[in-house]
Each structure stands twice: as C-alpha cells, then as structure tokens.
Amino acid sequence: MNAVSAGDSDAATLVTVLGALETVILGKPEQIRLCLACLLARGHLLIEDVPGVGKTTLAHALAHVLGLAWQRVQFTSDLLPADIIGVSIFDRASQRFNFRQGPIFTQLLLADEVNRASPRTQSALLEAMEERQVSADGTTYPLPEPFFVVATQNPHEQLGTYALPESQLDRFLMRVTLGYPDVAHERELLRGGERRELLSRMAPALSAAAVLRVQRAVRAVHVADALLDYTQALIARTRERSDLKIGLSPRAGQGLLRAAQAWSYLAGRPAVLPEDVQAVLPAVVAHRLERRDPTGGGDGDALAREFIRAVPVPP
C-alpha cells in the first residue's frame, strides 16, 4: 500500500516536474518530456543543436528539478581522460597514491560540447557511461546511482571537432534537438529575463532516491506480446532497408522499449501502446541510422517517421 502511494505521488510529482521545466524552456513540451523519459529510462541523453537555444539550460534544469547532484564539464580539445575520471595523486604524508575523483563522480554529468574533446577523452567518458563504473590504477570505482550523462553538441561546427562515431552514438539512448522557439515563445523569451535565474528560485521536485524509485516503476510498465511484435517489426524494417548503412542494434531495440515504457509511465498508462513507441522512436533511432548516400533523402528524423508510416500496427 505504501509503495503504491509512493508511486502515485511520484507520478504526480513528475507532472509538476514537467510543468516546472516548461517554465524554463519555453514552447518545447515535447522535447522536455522526451528528455525526462530518457532519464527515467536510465538512458543517457544527447542534446544536439546550434548554440543559444537552451541546451545547457535544459540540462541544468533537469538536474536541478530532479534534485540530483550535478557537475558540468566543458569539453575542449586538450581535455584529458583524467580531467573527467580523476587522477591518482601521491600523498607525501601517507606515502601512498590517493585517487582523487574527477567530475564524473556525480549523479548528472553535463558534458558540454562533447564533440570538441579528442576521441581518447570521448571514449573514456562513453565507457564510463556504459559500464557505470570507472577503473583507475587497477581499482574499480562504481559511479553514483542514479548516473546520467547529458551531453550537448553543436552539429554545425566542424572545425576542430571530432564527430562521435556510430558505436558511441549508440550509447546515447536519445538524441533530442531543440530548435528555435516559435514566435510567441520567442517574444516571451525576449521579454522575460535570463531563464537560468528562474532555476535558483525553483525548489527541487524530486530526489535521487525518488528518481531510482521511478526508474524501477518504469521498468515495471507492462509490455504485451502484441507490442513486442510491433517493435520487432519496426526494428526489422530498419535492417531491411538497403539504403541504410546499418539497421538498429539489439541494444537500440532494448533502449527503444525502455524509452517507450518511460513515455507510457509519464502518460500515466499501465502498459505500453504502439503510440508510446512511435512517440519516442525518432529520438531513439535518428542518431543511429545513417544513409549510405548522405545526399539522398532526409535525415534520421525523417527516416524514423518513414518507418512509423511503413509499419502497420497489428490489429
């Protein structure tokens, strides 16, 4: 009984979380919901857009509203793995090496402009993301729970950046693009002050413990065989396409289902519906699909919508 009431209150809190986030990032309820679903599905999030549309603000707001400890690392080309993971320092007093934890030992790591770092540093981060632990000097240090990475990158900036390869993009559960606000919201933005200032006035709505609880509840959202059929048909469709370099990996399939569960949970449904899968599909698969011929057709987002239209929902 207790658990149920806690669950119910969590669900109610999430509605307020969404509301709070929407006051910070104006006019993007869909994207905010996706970002939240991504974190609730224990996934890492990649926010990709041009500078100045509120990527960092959104990441910041997420951490703040969820009540998580967070760190921010601005990625640059001279950033070293040790700058993220930590470093062993010789302590004269004890005549021993002590591991000094890097910024990654936090609950939400905001990796700003992740494509500016060298591949070596990127891969150190991405390994930690996948394993949820860090190894240094032969010792393994588990990362805190929950642990999220919210990375941002600017897709249009090419000079001096290292594009994340497909294998590493695959580790992000979702890629979300914010885009410019519409006229009304832009006006509101211009009229209002700095959005981040709002955050300081906002109280965290959840806590780390509550986030873990919600994550467990998300995993319990029912997935029927009929839905698995539909999901598999979608995944198979991406592998049949000859104009794609690769289809969706099994890991992507798992992620798709988890994201759909989270989406369903946010909508207050006890079971995943095809609509939930369709809602998260573009964000989950767009960054994993690449056409062989980069000039042909639309981007991954358009592709994902094509898949949705092409695969019938079984009656």
Q: Binding residues for another protein, per CB under 8 A?
A: 155, 158, 161, 163, 222, 224, 226-227, 241-244, 270-275, 278, 290, 292, 294, 308-315
Q: How far is the CB of 75 from another protein (least distance, A)?
A: 16
Q: How far is the CB of 163 from another protein (least distance, A)?
A: 4
Residues in the chain: 315
Q: How far is the CB of 260 from another protein (least distance, A)?
A: 11
Nearer to another protein, 65 or 272 (CB): 272
Q: How far is the CB of 118 from another protein (least distance, A)?
A: 15
| C-alpha gyration radius of the chain | 20
Nearer to another protein, 4 or 183 (CB): 4
Nearer to another protein, 83 or 113 (CB): 113
Cβ–Cβ < 8 Å for 288, 279: no
Report the Cα 261 to chain-centroid distance in Å.
15
Nearer to another protein, 223 or 252 (CB): 223
Count CA within 13 A, CB hemisphere, residue 186.
7
Nearer to another protein, 182 or 275 (CB): 275
Q: How far is the CB of 286 from another protein (least distance, A)?
A: 11
Q: How far is the CB of 315 from another protein (least distance, A)?
A: 4
DSSP assignment string, 142-187: EPPSS-EEEEEE-TT--TT--PPPHHHHTTEEEEE------HHHHH
Nearer to another protein, 245 or 251 (CB): 245
Question: CA 143, CA 139: separation in Å to the nearest integer?
Answer: 13
Beta bridge partners of 44: 172
Find, among 206, 286, 280, 202, the residue nearest to 248 by Cα: 286
Backbone angles phi, psi at 215, to 5 degrees: -60, -40
Show Cβ contacts of residue 279 under 8 Å, excluding neighbours closer than 6 positions.
260, 263
Q: How far is the CB of 103 from another protein (least distance, A)?
A: 27
Cβ–Cβ < 8 Å for 70, 208: no
Nearer to another protein, 3 or 163 (CB): 163
